[in-house]
Structure 1
Amino acid sequence: MSRRSLMATGGAALAVVLAACTGKDPLAEQANAGDNKNYIAGDGSVTEYGAADRKEPVEFTGTLFDGKKVDAADFLGQVTVLNFWYAACAPCRLEAPDMQSLNTEFSAKGVEFLGVNVRDEKATAEAFERNFGLTYPSIVDKDGGVLLALTKFVPPAAVPTTLVLDKKGRVCARILGVADKGTLKALLTTALAEN
């Protein structure tokens, strides 16, 4: 059997096994679609968490592409946006201009934007940032450390995912998929108004 036919047979068998295990899970259906888009897309759904329903402050550490170390505790006292992305992700490219626009609008109001790059090497990430004029930093998260750390608070579940942290460092909102600019602006305005 040739290598190509062996891989095709193995891939078909894997797809059957995965399909049998996944049922009606839409994320699993996307993974099994075989369309080679290389990401699990969110549907743009927004989940807001009332103050009484929020878990404890998030905990993570990471390293920015410039080598600087960051810790979730560094962002306490301000509203923080965590945006999970990577350069080849089409929805990430779609939302990047709006992320930068909101970063420009809200940075003076006490909002900190922080990207979490889940896949790219430094040169690729920096090219993306230059192309879209992004001025906020990103954490290198190829090993999934930040992503994993945040799953105990709220699962990101798709790329892109945008999390809004309140001033106490707790997740107050999550957007799965492309963050609509108006929606994210409203979430930030609400979070800033909280005590």
Structure 2
Amino acid sequence: MTNPLTPQPTRRRLLSAASALAAAGLSAVLAGCAADDPLAAQARAGDNKNYVAGDGSVTEYAAGTRKAPVAFTGTLYDGTKVSSADFAGKVTVLNFWFAACAPCRIEAPDLEALHAEFAPKGVQFYGVNLRDEKGTAEAFESTFGVGYPSFNDKDGQVLLAVSGMVPPGAVPTTLVLDKEGRVAARVLGQLDRSTLKALLVTAVAE
């Protein structure tokens, strides 16, 4: 039984308390989501690395769902013009990188090892450098023994051609193009050598 002498909460007070609890709960959920989002955490880090490293997640695209072949003409650091039309009939790897990117340095030996293994099978590798001057890029290639060429993509022409596949600032990202020049697979972030090898074996066999 309610004691008539005890002050009872009004409807307005009850609604206010409920709203406060709901707001607190929502804030906790949002805080939890932000804390669990590694890309958001990197963006907030303020460490001046100027890139967002992916988690190495792999996306494969079934042949029937692939978009149109990529289309661009780019310039390698040695001045050679290369058109994506030249990719027809070959599996092609595009690795987006720049010299100050720590994951790019870690994965460079694996990329070169796979390049050496798959070049005899007709697979061609290209780096796509988004930021560096020629000297910086060449110093990186010399240090890590990279034997395949890179596009000087400071003007963003190659990046624009794969818009939607390579998130801005997400470096490294690696694309595997099928023999028609379509994106067959994507590795977002530092790659695993065995994973990329499996993707290349599949692409070559198609």
TM-score by length of 2: 0.80
Among 96, 108, 118, the residue aligned to 2:120: 108
Ranges of 4+ aligned residues in structure 1 off by more than 6 Å: none
Residue number in structure 2 paired with 1:51: 63
Amino acid across the alignment from 1:124: T
Give the C-alpha shift of residue 26 in structure 1.
4.4
Q: Deviations over 1:71-128 (max 9, x none)?
A: 1111110000000000110000000000000000000001000000001000000000
Identity %: 70
Separation of aligned partners in 2, 1:114 and 1:60: 13
How many residue pairs get matched?
Answer: 172
Structure-to-structure mapping, 1:156-175, within 5 angstroms: 156-157=167-168, 158-175=170-187
Give the C-alpha shift of residue 156 in structure 1.
4.1
Q: Deviations over 1:133-184 (max 9, x none)?
A: 11100000112121112115x2345100000000010000000011100000
1:155 maps onto 2:159 in alignment: no
Separation of aligned partners in 2, 1:56 and 1:182: 27
Q: Deviations over 1:3-52 (max 9, x none)?
A: xxxxxxxxxxxxxxxxxxxx846434322221222211000000000001
Separation of aligned partners in 2, 1:28 and 1:55: 28
Separation of aligned partners in 1, 2:74 and 2:93: 15
Structure-to-structure mapping, 1:115-134, within 5 angstroms: 115-134=127-146
Separation of aligned partners in 1, 2:179 and 2:105: 28
User: For the aligned residues, what is the CA RMSD?
Assistant: 1.5
Separation of aligned partners in 2, 1:31 and 1:141: 23
Unaligned runs of 5+ in 1: 1-22
Separation of aligned partners in 2, 1:28 and 1:169: 32
Residue number in structure 1 paired with 2:52: 40
Among 94, 103, 106, the residue aligned to 1:91: 103
Residue number in structure 2 paired with 1:182: 194
Separation of aligned partners in 1, 2:160 and 2:43: 20
Amino acid across the alignment from 1:39: Y
Unaligned runs of 5+ in 2: 1-32
Residue number in structure 2 paired with 1:139: 151
TM-score by length of 1: 0.84
Residue number in structure 2 paired with 1:65: 77
